[in-house]
Each structure stands twice: as C-alpha cells, then as structure tokens.
Amino acid sequence: MQVKDKIVIITGAGSGIGKATAIHFAKYGATVVVSDINLEKAKEVAAEIVTNGGKSLPIKANVAKFEEVENLIKQTVVDFGKLDVLVNNAGIGPSFLRTHESTLRDWNRVIAVNQTGVYYGMKVALAQFLEQGYGNIVNIASLAGLKASPNNISYSASKFAVVGMTKSAAMEYATKNIRVNAVCPGYTESALLNQLLSAKPEMDAILKSVIPMKRYGKAAEIAEAVVWLASDNTKFITGQTITLDGGTSL
C-alpha cells in the first residue's frame, strides 16, 4: 500500500473499524491522527501505534459539532504541515424500531453524527485540499446505504446520504486532484453489531443465514479496503462505493 509518510485523520478511531484502520495505516508507514469523542480510547490506540513503531497523535473531536471538526483538521495541519487523507468513520447506530415507532431524538442523534458529521469533515477537509492542491477522502457508509434496511430509518437515511455525498463531491473535485470514495461494510464485528445482538440475540443466526460466507466481516478486512482506496495504488478511482459484505448484497 502506497501510503508511507501520508498524514491521515480517522474519526471514531477509538474502537472497531476506526481502530483497525488506524493500525493498518500506521503499519504501512502513514502518520495517523486518531480522533474520537472518547479521548482516552484515542490515546490508547495512538499509544499502541507508537509502541509498534508507528507515528500517531490522539485528538478529541465530536463530529456532530462543526467547531470541533474544524479544530481537528486545523490542528493536524498546524502540527504536520498538511493533510493527505480524511477517513470519515465516526458513526452511531439506531434504536431498531419501525419507522412510525422511531423517535425524533433517535432521528436527530443519528443524522447529526452519521450524516452531518461526514458533511462537516468533507467541507473542512476539501477546503484544505484545494489550498494544498490534492487530497483524498474515504467515507465509511454501509450496506444499509445501498439496500433496504427495515427497522432502521435514521441509520439507513444517514448511510444513503453518505453514498450520495461521496458521489457528488467526487464529481465536483475530480479535476482538482482530489478523490472521494466510500466503503460499504455489511455485517461486521463491531460495537454496532454487538448492540444489535445484545438487544436481539436471535438475530445472530438470522443474519448469518443471509450472508453467503456464513460469517461476519472483520474490522481488519474493512480497514484493508480503506487503506487501499486512500493509497496511491488507486489514483484513477473516485466516486466509488466498495461493498464488503461476504456476498450479502447478492
């Protein structure tokens, strides 16, 4: 993977796919800004990267607050002189209710993080990329942003939006040496999946029955795709959604 010496910000990097992605970037020689709303988790991931010979800096940021996203990117540029890659990974899950039973609080909370938070990151990063003449964004969407996902209205809406924003921005900045892509994980071992299975243990067998590979994805497998899209190995790829779902969408 050609990401050596790149400066990379990953939001929601304190656990799950974000943590795995941070570790993978560092393994291939990138400097990783580990951002999370939980600073202690961010520090733990950054420390693990440094212990293993990598370069990392933890920064706290709530992606639902524009000023914190702005500060995250500004601080990164001040400290390292540039920003090569932004991975918009921070996200939260829904309450698994049918649409008419869903709450306004759930809708507003999920949209604020999963959709508006991605917009904030893209807006600020793109301005920086235009100034420096290049850049790369990888958004973490979901299979729920490509196909129907019942009992999931807020999460589904937010992930469909991420796919749309990815494609729109990719077209806008294709001539500016700026690429924007997304990955769409299926059911992956993560805090969100654990949340679902804790609430409804019977879903474990049901979910695996619809996955042709009969297993969940691993965070490290998603991370490999993210690093690949962010690397110089994929210079002619933009506006794409890479689906990693063990065949579920088939």
- The reported pLDDT for the residue numbered 44 is 98
pLDDT tens, position by position, 209-233: 999 999 999 999 999 999 999 999 9
Q: Decide: 155 and 114 in contact? Cβ < 8 Å.
A: yes
Average pLDDT, the chain: 95
pLDDT tens, position by position, 36-59: 999 999 999 999 999 999 999 999
Q: How far apart are CA 192 and CA 76, in angstroms?
A: 28
Give the E-state strand segments of the chain in sequence order.
7-10, 31-36, 55-60, 85-88, 135-140, 178-185, 241-244
Q: Which DSSP letter does residue 217 get?
A: B
52 three-state secondary structure: coil
Q: How many CA atoms, within 13 angstroms, populate the side-chain half-sphere of residue 132?
A: 15
Query: What structural domains and CATH numbers belong to the chain?
Result: 7-244 (3.40.50.720)
Q: How far apart are CA 119 and CA 134, in angstroms?
A: 19
Q: How far apart are CA 183 and CA 140, in angstroms?
A: 5
Q: How far apart are CA 199 and CA 96, in angstroms?
A: 9
Q: How far apart are CA 47 and CA 12, in angstroms?
A: 16
pLDDT band for position 194 (cuts 50, 70, 90) = confident
Strands 31-36 vs 241-244: parallel, antiparallel or unpaired: unpaired
- The reported pLDDT for the residue numbered 199 is 79
- The reported pLDDT for the residue numbered 201 is 87
Amino acid at position 56, single letter: S
- Res 93 pLDDT > 90: no
Angle, helices 16-27/39-51, rounded to nearest 10 degrees: 30
Q: Decide: 229 and 138 in contact? Cβ < 8 Å.
A: yes
Q: DSSP alpha helices (H): ranges in 28-116?
A: 39-51, 66-80, 104-110
- The reported pLDDT for the residue numbered 94 is 75
- Give the catalytic positions in this structure: 155
Least confident segment among 31-40, 50-59, 82-91, 95-104: 95-104
